[in-house]
Amino acid sequence: MNYLSAFLVGGAICAAGQILLSKTDLTPARILVIFVTAGVALTALGLYEPIVKFGGAGAKVPLTGFGYALAKGAYKAVDESGLLGALSGGVTATAAGISAAVLFGYIVAVIFTPKTRK
Amino acid sequence: MGSQIGKRTIKFKNPPNITAAYSVAGRKEKEGPFGQSFDLTFDDEHWGEKTYEQAERKIYLKAVESVIERANLKPDDISFLFGGDLLNQIIASGFAAREVGIPFFGLYGACSTMAESAILGSMAVDGGFARYVVCATSSHFATAERQFRNPLELGTPKTPSAQNTVSASGAVLLTSDRGRYPAATHATAGRVIDLGATDVNNMGAAMAPAAVETIICHLEDTGRGDNYYDVILTGDLGTFGTSLFHKLADDSQHDFSAVHQDCGSLIYGGDEKMNCGGSGCGCGASMLCGHFYKELVQERIKRLLFVATGALHSPTSALQGESIPCIAHAISIEMGYGG
């Protein structure tokens, strides 16, 4: 059941991305930014939490999930250390993800050379 | 020396002969239906070079050197090299020109550069300023992706209306020497047309109006009918742009459906992975210098109007929301033209 709900939620989010790629002239970079900020906004409005409860990793792994983690981190830090937490909390909560992206990106860039599709 | 007829068409007095043409193309182009017509093909997009940009330079250089060799000439015999490519500061052409040492006029007309170069080269020859000139352009899938869209490293998918930049080059050798060869008889320079299209993933639609405008002007200036030419060959409208092309022609009471062919739609033979077909200066150039030049020499085609269309935007202008200005240059290449 978990798998199914994760698949439905994750698939729906990715399908939305594909529709934006195919049907609009938005660049991929803009779509990424829209997804992250949408995740933050939906979390702030309390709308993303139920989606995470239902979809689990299906909601957390796509880019909107990154926005969700940023917003959650900010809330948590505000509760713990006051208003300054709104600035520090987001990145603190997502530090592992950011570092992993940099580290693995670096490793892959060193090892592989991009090629055209066969 | 030639003269101007009508609004903006040049009629060459002694039509410069195209005594040799040479095309170089990559693996995907070789696997297409016209693969056999390219003079030289390569399998790896790096072609033994360190970067894609160096590979494109090599494609360009091969086309130029080989067309000179094919005409039994040496680089020293060539007065001028006209040409360009799609990269910033046209580095494929400029760096290749460094290697051959021919006096070089670097041109940028985006994908219209092959026709633009051939027109200017013909003017130089017919004007008596040169006995031999070479006109060449190139494009490369990976360098164009980096230049205009996203570097391959990003691994982003393409939209369905997008076209695939062709990895290829084409070069022609124009001369005042007489003989029975395909000759450049007329040329119509393009105006920059902009109907407000902003989608950089749908270049064919942006360029189709320019192609129609130039072709109609060419036919009016020369007094030729819609079916005078055996083939009206556009460079890289792609399948989407081609359907718009026919619609716009229809709106102007013209019908090119019997004679029109489009290099971008032809080169991959409708391979779905290539979306709307091929694009880039190398698309029209390699098809003209490969398949169509051979057809002209063997007189299966006698009258060809080559119309190369170009989108004159830059990645910066597109990101700033500007529309895409487009141009189409037309050059008439005829076999056994009597005047």
**Domains of chain B by range and CATH?**
13-175 (3.40.47.40), 183-334 (3.40.47.40)
Does A117 fall in a domain? no
**Structural domain boundaries, residue A59:** 2-111
**Residues of B with CB below 8 A from A22's CB?**
159-160
| CA–CA separation, A4 and A55 (whole Å) | 8
What SS3 class is residue B135?
strand
Taking alpha carbons only, the member of A76, A104, A103, A101 closest to residue A90 is A76
**Quick one: angle between helices B52-70 and B91-100, nearest 10?**
50
| Cβ–Cβ gap A114/B199 under 8 Å | no
| Maximum Cα interatomic distance, chain A, rounded to a whole number of Å | 54
Q: What pLDDT does B270 receive?
A: 82
Exposed / middle / buried, residue B256 (Cβ in 10 Å: 0-12, 13-18, 19+): buried
Q: What pLDDT does A118 receive?
A: 67
| Cβ–Cβ gap B45/A114 under 8 Å | no
| Cβ–Cβ gap A22/B160 under 8 Å | yes
Q: Is the pLDDT of residue A62 over 80?
A: yes
Tens of pLDDT along A13-48?
999 999 998 888 788 889 999 999 999 999 999 999
| Cβ–Cβ gap B201/A25 under 8 Å | yes
Structure tokens at B272: 């779905």
Cβ(B236)–Cβ(B262) below 8 Å? yes
- The residues that bridge with B104 in the sheet, in sequence order, are B81
| Cβ–Cβ gap A21/B150 under 8 Å | no
> What total of structural domains would you count in chain A?
1
Q: In angstroms, what separates the C-alpha of A81 from chain B's closest C-alpha?
A: 38
CA A78 to chain centre: 21
DSSP B193: B
Of B150, B155, B199, the CB nearest to A25: B199
Does A35 fall in a domain? yes
Q: What pLDDT does B200 receive?
A: 82
Q: What pLDDT does B275 receive?
A: 81
pLDDT by residue, tens only, chain B of 339 residues: 689 999 999 999 999 999 999 999 999 999 999 999 999 999 999 999 999 999 999 999 999 999 999 999 999 999 999 999 999 999 999 999 999 999 999 999 999 999 999 999 999 999 999 999 999 999 999 999 999 988 887 777 777 778 899 999 999 999 999 999 999 999 999 999 999 988 888 889 899 999 999 999 999 999 999 999 999 999 999 999 999 999 999 999 999 999 999 999 999 998 878 888 999 999 999 999 999 999 999 999 999 999 999 999 999 998 898 999 999 999 999 998 875
Mean pLDDT, chain A, rounded, equals 93
Does A116 fall in a domain? no
Does A60 fall in a domain? yes
Q: What pLDDT does B199 receive?
A: 83
Cβ(B116)–Cβ(B109) below 8 Å? yes
Mean predicted confidence (pLDDT) in A101-109:
94
| CA–CA separation, B91 and B80 (whole Å) | 18
| CA–CA separation, B306 and B281 (whole Å) | 13
| CA–CA separation, B97 and B89 (whole Å) | 13
Closest-approach residue (CA) in chain A for B167: A116
Does A118 fall in a domain? no
Taking alpha carbons only, the member of A73, A51, A72, A46 closest to residue A62 is A51
Distances (CA, A) of A85 to A47, A72, B69, B98: 22, 11, 72, 59
Give just the sign of the alpha carbon dihedral B293, B291, B136, B41: negative
Cβ(B264)–Cβ(B241) below 8 Å? yes
**Residues of B with CB below 8 A from A21's CB?**
157, 159
